[in-house]
Amino acid sequence: MQLGVVWNFSDVMNGLMAIPNLIGLLIMSGLIARETKLYLKHDPKLEATSAEIEAFMKGDRGWEEWKANERKG
């Protein structure tokens, strides 16, 4: 088998791996934009301390799950 064929095949496979990631980005873009706007409304200069971030995120189910896994890990 020619080396060029192997490289072309690997290039195509790497390109195809990007497709699911791009689809995921498109699907999640609205959520990411909304959450970013919400956070920046509370911390526009991105200078929050970890305690302020904890207070902001408190009660968010995803945050609580992440913190629980962080403690286990």
Max Cα distance, the chain (Å): 60
Could you report the per-residue pLDDT of 18-68, keeping only the tens digit for each? Answer: 999 999 999 999 999 998 998 899 888 989 998 888 888 888 888 888 888
73 has pLDDT over 70: no
Q: Which amino acid is at 30?
A: G
- Rounded CA-CA distance 25/44 in Å is 24
What pLDDT does 69 receive? 84
Q: Which amino acid is at 28?
A: M
DSSP code, position 46: S
Q: Which amino acid is at 65?
A: E
